[in-house]
Amino acid sequence: MKASARHRAPEPFQPHGLFLRTLTFVAVVLAIAACGRSGGHPLALEQHSATPADTARHAAHRAGTHPPSSQQPATPRTSRTGKTKMLLGVFEYGAEVAYRRVEKFAATVGRQPDIVVSFGVWGAPFDTRFASIAHAHGTTVLIQMEPTNASLASIIAGKQDKYLRSYAAEIQRFGHRVILSFAPEPNGPWYPWGWTRSSPASWRAAWRHVVTLFRKRKANNVTWLWTVDRKFTGSGPLPAYWPGAAYVDWVGIDAYYVHRGDTFDKIFGPTLAEVRRFTTRPVLISETAAGQIAGRARAIPDLFAGSVRADMLGLVWFDMNQHRNIYHQNWRLEGHPAAIAAFRRALASWKPRN
């Protein structure tokens, strides 16, 4: 759901445009130039990232890489009752420079988000300042690493290793939980690493190379999120992009309420069913929103109820104003009292998964 909507067929949805990638680059550069590093308190998501010793070890050896460590997998934070808490995330454009935008979202919905998303520009360093500010608010950063100017072949061949080692070292020094996704939505054709534009085998090899490098650099505070787009006519086969459970902590699915008849079961159901045929990894709705055309008073409660019913980790709301077409609607809650009221009611009734 990120950039390059111009490459996408009319049916699927791509909220970001090329302008967002460019402006995000400017935002990251400004943030890096403006401030240095700062510290923070331990995250609620404090267990180290790794995977259990299951069938993935065979996949790791077959790929010619090191198997995962024996540390426990990352887990979602818990509520005061000790039950698992549904995670609420948000994307706010420009939050890397102006974190007050995330604070405004928190005030609007009546809850501090657990996750804040940033789209990483390939070649730029890890934004420790932004991660530290988020951490100070009790929030974990989710970085979508998009290799827009690095080919999968160059990554597999180790030509990007200097950059990746530096990035891993920065995260390791940061010391707190970071959710990291690499080359997201490969089952769509709008990215150079995606379906019909690069082979699934190359994508899997690149993912495994990145994860293995980070683990060698002891960046064990990373939770690896495998992010795919919803299934649609013409999308790539999800199993073809699965790198193996040894290389994934969480699964992420991106999908939006675009049309008036959209429901949770319709937009998430087929993808979720296929994913759960080849993995039992926890699933996060890694990017979503409901547009005004879909009818927010109906769609927002359906989204929250569906996420509980489907046993999801939680959801990340794409809180951005877009006025381009039906696939680029105004997703922002702020300034829309009816949508805010629906969101607050749904959030208040969002019960733990267990």
Is 236 a residue whose pLDDT tops 50? yes
Number of C-alpha atoms within 13 angstroms, CB side, residue 88?
21
In order, the DSSP letters of 229-244 are EPP-TTPPPGGGG---
User: Which residue is it, tokens 């699934």?
Assistant: 200
pTM above 0.85, yes or no: no
Instruction: Average the pLDDT over each of 55-64, 227-236, 312-321 and give the range with the smallest value.
Output: 55-64
Whether the CB-CB separation of 141 and 174 falls below 8 Å is answered with no
The CA distance from 156 to 136, in Å, is 36
- Work out whether strand 140-146 and strand 178-182 pair parallel, antiparallel, or are unpaired: parallel
- Give pLDDT, residue 83: 52
| Residue in 150, 254, 236 with CA at minimum distance from that of residue 194 | 236
DSSP code at position 291: -
User: Which residue is it, tokens 């495998």?
Assistant: 226
| Residue in 288, 250, 211 with CA at minimum distance from that of residue 76 | 250
- Name the more confident of 173 and 22: 173
Question: Which residue type is seen at 298?
Answer: R
% of residues, the chain, pLDDT over 90: 71
| Residue in 277, 91, 87, 265 with CA at minimum distance from that of residue 184 | 91
Instruction: Average the pLDDT over each of 35-39, 312-316, 347-351 and give the range with the smallest value.
Output: 35-39
In order, the DSSP letters of 41-101 are PPPS--SPP---SSTHHHHHHHTTSPPP-SSPPP---B-TTSSBPPEEEEE-TTTTT-THH
Question: pLDDT-derived band of residue 77, with 50, 70 and 90 as boundaries?
Answer: low
- Looking at domain 5-348, which of 3.40.50.300, 3.10.310.30, 3.20.20.80, 3.20.20.70 is its CATH number? 3.20.20.80
Token pair in block for residue 116: 């804040």
Phi, psi of 224, deg, nearest 5? -90, 120
| Residue in 284, 286, 272 with CA at minimum distance from that of residue 312 | 284
Whether the CB-CB separation of 84 and 354 falls below 8 Å is answered with yes
Most confident listed range (58-72, 254-268, 315-329)? 254-268
Token pair in block for residue 302: 């359906």
- Work out whether strand 321-325 and strand 328-330 pair parallel, antiparallel, or are unpaired: antiparallel
- Give pLDDT, residue 78: 53
**Phi-psi region for residue 117, left (φ > 0), alpha (ψ -120 to 50) or beta?**
beta
| Helix 200-216 with 161-174: angle, nearest 10 deg | 50
- Name the more confident of 350 and 274: 274
Question: Which residue type is seen at 326?
Answer: I
User: Which residue is it, tokens 């699965």?
Assistant: 242
